[in-house]
Amino acid sequence: MASLLLQNIAKSYGTVEVLKDIDLDIEQGELIVFVGPSGCGKSTLLRMIAGLEKITGGDLYIDGERMNDTPPSKRGIAMVFQSYALYPHMTVYDNMAFALKVAKMPKAEIDQRVRNAGKILQLTDYLDRLPKALSGGQRQRVAIGRSIVRDPKVYLFDEPLSNLDAALRVDTRIEIAQLKENMPESTMIYVTHDQVEAMTLATRIVVLNNKTHTIAQFGTPLDLYQRPENTFVAQFIGSPKMNLLPGTISAAQDTTTTIDVTAGGVATVPVSAAGLPSGTEVQLGVRPEDFVVAQPGDAVIFEGQASYTEKLGEVTVVYFTPRDGEDSVIAKIPGIADVSKGTQLSLTASPDKLHLFDASGHSFFYK
């Protein structure tokens, strides 16, 4: 059970910079998720914490002790990989007991630890089975069990669900959430590609930016969704991604800022752009799910003709013809909307759902 502190951690392979300026203060009992585009360095950061990858700059502390040069086996961490590689000829019990036997732990203690892990992971009825007689999700749980019996300070998970099919992923995700609830003191770090996994499992999420090689934001799932610090996070968290509508400031009041949207339309955002002159270029952020069809009298933020629609039953996703050099604007309208290709729609959104970014992509909320 441990806290982790990463100070100014950097990683490069020769002259190729992969990560820099990584500062993280992780409290005991947290489940931290690393997300980011492919190649942003999620696994590399996890492997540096594990000691499987050399740290090229900065300091790593586990429970206050500097660990940069400590071998993996002495760091008190356990890592669960996506390929769980169980010993096929050993029972579930023996798979979990194996490392403890090698470490010459007394038999009674091994038995107590294995049965306890079996209970936590709901594997009690399967302890005598061979891996081939288990489902993929159950096998992954045995792999997690091998970590639990070692009672590590920190659990590291590298995409543990990515080998499972979609339905099993959902079940196993819920099991991991329950596992964490059963082990509230344990500190866990989890790498995933899957946003839903990140949003549902994490106490806090680290979003890594593959262009700057730095942390784009470190915060709670809802913080990242409701108050993204920059357009990178705004468009990475949420699906379909947040619309960014170019515009200019028409009035910067004390607590609100009014924007003329370049495509037509106007929006008043409850953030201050104090001191910025009219005409300053900004980007208005609206999530597809926050757009609503405007009623007479509403301030219209965006107006356009549907170029494509997807009727998914619970929502209708409407794509609008993109303007030159811009992405298609997307709106998610609840239910089965009476919209098809060519339908003209006027959209608005509640002011408290709007986001405002400067031309370089920083949110005004944090200014």
Q: Which residues bind ligand ATP (CB under 6 A)?
A: 13, 16, 18, 36, 38-44, 193
Contacts of 250 by beta carbon, 8 Å cutoff, 6+ apart: 258, 259, 260, 266, 278
DSSP 20-50: EEEEEEE-TT-EEEEE-STTSSHHHHHHHHH
**Which residue number, 138 or 192, has a Cβ lying nearer to ligand ATP?**
192
Nearest distance in Å: CB 230, ligand ATP: 18
Question: Rounded CA gap, 138 and 337, in Å?
Answer: 42
The amino acid present at 191, given as its one-letter code, is: V
Nearest distance in Å: CB 21, ligand ATP: 16
Question: Rounded CA gap, 243 and 304, in Å?
Answer: 14
**Which residue number, 241 or 353, has a Cβ lying nearer to ligand ATP?**
241
Kindly provide the b/e burial profile for residues 224-236, where b requires at least 16 CB atoms within 10 angstroms of the residue's own CB: bbebbbbbbbbbb
Nearest distance in Å: CB 44, ligand ATP: 3
The backbone torsions φ and ψ at residue 246, rounded to the nearest 5 degrees and listed phi first, read -65, 145
**Which residue number, 39 or 322, has a Cβ lying nearer to ligand ATP?**
39
Nearest distance in Å: CB 154, ligand ATP: 18
Nearest distance in Å: CB 36, ligand ATP: 6
Sort strands 154-158 and 187-191 into parallel, antiparallel or unpaired: parallel
Location of structure tokens 């499972």: 164
Nearest distance in Å: CB 53, ligand ATP: 8
Report CA dihedral (174, 85, 156, 18) to the nearest 10 degrees.
Answer: -120
**Which residue number, 19 or 121, has a Cβ lying nearer to ligand ATP?**
19
**Which residue number, 16 or 103, has a Cβ lying nearer to ligand ATP?**
16
**Which residue number, 15 or 73, has a Cβ lying nearer to ligand ATP?**
15
Question: Rounded CA gap, 201 and 155, in Å?
Answer: 14
Nearest distance in Å: CB 34, ligand ATP: 8
Nearest distance in Å: CB 77, ligand ATP: 17
- The 3-state DSSP class for residue 113 equals helix
Residue 206 zone, left/alpha/beta (φ > 0; ψ -120 to 50; rest): beta
**Which residue number, 56 or 68, has a Cβ lying nearer to ligand ATP?**
56
**Which residue number, 192 or 348, has a Cβ lying nearer to ligand ATP?**
192
Query: 363, 228 in Cβ contact below 8 A?
Result: yes
